[in-house]
Amino acid sequence: MRNLKQRLPPLACLVAFEAASRHGSFSHAAEELASTQSAVSRQIKQLEGFFNIQLFERRHRDVVVTDRGRYLAEVVSETLGEIAMASDRLRMMRESRNIFRLRIDSDHANTVLIPHLQELEHRFPEIQLDVMITSNPLDFPFEAFDIGFHSYSMDYKHYTRTPISDDWIIPVCSPAFAESLPSPCTGEDIARARLLHYRNPLREWTDWRAFLSEFGVDTDKADMGPTFSQYSACFDAAENGLGIALAWFSQAKARLDQGSLVRVSECTMHLPKDFAIYSDDTTSTHASTEAVVNFFCNRVDLSLGENQYRVR
């Protein structure tokens, strides 16, 4: 790649752009980068000048990525993620290999990891667990790990996917909000209710339109209601009675157990073998990785619990 420096914009501008596109906000990007809103805005303008295109639509309180900006965001996000991953991998290679890094989101941690943690440590005394728990579904390119749990099948480069259980998408809300809904609650009833949305422009995700269309429901009004950029925040809003959320059963199970969320309809989208463990192919695999994967494959079966959560 000759004259690479002339063909590439400054790295700092790309980092600022990636954060702004992910947050939909210059100020939130600045907070993440320990910078200022004006500095991020200048970097974005510099980037737009470099490409001679508009990357964001500026609004009063936020910014929206343009179509061309969305294309760039996908490429930049993946590229920066791989650079960050390479850095993490090099550090992991340097550190002691008795450390086993396990990555999981908070809802799966409560249902998949914690109940088996004592047995896991007993079975594998040679490893020191480093458990990374996130508030969102996994975003693999930004973390290095030995195994990571993920619901909703996605095609990640450099990872081996081992499916361990079926999963479902179900509509959930707080018990109090459920009282305001018809009983039984049909797909048409859901479409008329206040819906809570999760949307990430950099990730594909089954939304209300796709879900309700499975049941032949007119989805013209399925975009009504607030949208959240964090999946856990959408759950929190549902718990607080703000509307109905679309939930992956594996992620909602802990809250269904606690009774803070309830199912509101028999409408269910079955996802065969959707809950899986991912392991990294590009680094020297931890000696215990295969055994730990098999350990969880023999213990995690979410299909055994789905039917116990009756519609209210």
Mean pLDDT of 262-291: 82
Same CATH fold assignment for domains 4-87 and 167-271: no
Per-residue pLDDT at 19: 92
76 sits in which H/E element: helix 67-94
Supply the CATH classification number for the domain 96-166+272-308: 3.40.190.10
Asked whether 72 and 87 are in contact (CB, 8 A), the reply is no
Provide the 10 A C-beta neighbour count for residue 171.
29
**pLDDT 10s digits, 203-241:** 667 889 889 988 888 776 566 789 887 788 898 999 999
Average pLDDT value over all residues in the chain? 83
18 band by pLDDT with thresholds 50, 70 and 90 = very high
Q: How far, rounded to the nearest angstrom, does the alpha carbon of residue 190 sit from its chain's CA centroid?
A: 24
Per-residue pLDDT at 4: 66
**Of residues 87, 146, 157, the one with CA closest to residue 120:** 146
CATH 3.40.50.300 at 167-271, yes or no: no
In the chain, what are the domain boundaries? 4-87, 96-166+272-308, 167-271
Cα–Cα distance measured from residue 217 to residue 196, given in angstroms and rounded to the nearest whole number: 17
Residue 198, CA distances (Å) to 108, 234, 251 in order: 18, 6, 14
66 band by pLDDT with thresholds 50, 70 and 90 = very high
- Measured in degrees and rounded to the nearest 5, phi and psi for residue 63 equal -130, 150
Per-residue pLDDT at 20: 92
- Measured in degrees and rounded to the nearest 5, phi and psi for residue 199 equal -145, 125
Supply the CATH classification number for the domain 4-87: 1.10.10.10
What the block records as the tokens of 88 is: 């993490």
Per-residue pLDDT at 2: 56
**pLDDT 10s digits, 145-154:** 888 888 766 6
